[in-house]
Amino acid sequence: MNDHRRLGRELGIFDTDPLIGAGLPYWLPAGAAVRKAIEDYVHELERRNGYQHVNSPVLGKRELYERSGHWAHYAEDMFPPMNVGGEDFVLRPSLCPHHALIYRSRQRSHRELPLRLAELGGQYRSELSGVLGGLIRVRAMQLNDGHVFCPPEQAAAEVSAALGLIEAAHGQLGIRAARYRLSLRGDGVKFVDDPAMWARSEAVLREALKERGLAYDEEHGEGAIERLVAHLVEVHGGAFPAWMAPVQAVVLPLSDAELPAAEDVLRRCVAAGLRAELAPADRSSLGARIRAHRLVPYQLVVGPREVVSGQASVRLRDGGQAGEVPVERLAADSRPLF
């Protein structure tokens, strides 16, 4: 079984250090590349679908979370306040209050609605040490969060559109057979005390799920992207789609004689936007270097013939041969679809 904790370290995705603390993983170069590729894809997908991106502080005054209800309902899951200049500040557990303040920062016209705000921002949860593990349960996370401000009659359409974005993202990320959970109120569970609003909201969500033909489970009492990378590591076993791969192309000179030509190919790869690296001969056989880079989508072999042509012979990760493909085309083929 692909365990993301083992693979994450073997592939140089992430690691932890006791001096940083449990539940606070750091991203190694390969992981930072995967994360950046996902962030860029999601940012562009949202932009193309009418979302405006904002950035807000990771801190907020305790009063903000008291007004939002987070402090009353989830204080035990939040980090304790930090007193600065006589005021209590808290690491945010959610972006919702911040986006609500951005919305109310000026008077809005109905012509601006629906207003779609999105942010990829840090959130912090005071998880107990015993439940922390890998990237699944952490204390600091980056969450892609969106909030749509609209009249009630537009809510169902906006939920359906958001689900459409999720489906599109799942397709690009290689996530198959996703199942959705409709989290509902339950006895003894903390939630905003407005039964009529809950009933309307649950009906809108149920309608949108059924309209899109999505399978879902109803979970009573459950209404309240690290995890995403953990899931992707296990799903793909490190063989990420080309657009997401930490290294998209590796240039393999047949011998030291082809090294200058291979370095030129590498420069063109980088200029075309590919994440690429060079694997010189260094007394290693070509076969050994290919095996060492078996997870890289494109292996560009440069031999005497390629020196003359100025190109490289492209070997695919599955062992297939693509012939001499210009690096610009490889770069174009390595971009996500929208």
Tell me the one-letter amino acid at 128: L
pLDDT tens, position by position, 34-61: 999 999 999 999 999 999 999 999 999 9
pLDDT tens, position by position, 80-104: 999 999 999 999 999 999 999 999 9
Report whether pLDDT(194) > 90: no
pLDDT tens, position by position, 261-303: 999 999 999 999 999 999 999 888 999 999 999 999 999 999 9
Ranges of each domain in the chain: 4-56+95-236, 249-333
Report residue 223's pLDDT band, with 50, 70 and 90 as the boundaries. Answer: very low
Superfamily (CATH H level) for 4-56+95-236? Bira Bifunctional Protein; Domain 2 (3.30.930.10)
Q: DSSP label at 238?
A: T
Question: Rounded to an integer, what distance in angstroms lies between the CA atom of residue 306 and that of residue 257?
Answer: 12
pTM for the model stands at: 0.88
The two structure tokens encoding residue 266: 């590498």
- Helices within 129-271 (DSSP H only): 155-173, 195-211, 226-236, 259-271
- List residues bridging with 79 in a β-sheet: none
Look at strands 87-91 and 82-84 and give their pairing: antiparallel
Are the C-beta atoms of residues 35 and 229 closer than 8 Å to each other? Answer: yes
- The CATH number assigned to the domain with range 249-333 reads 3.40.50.800
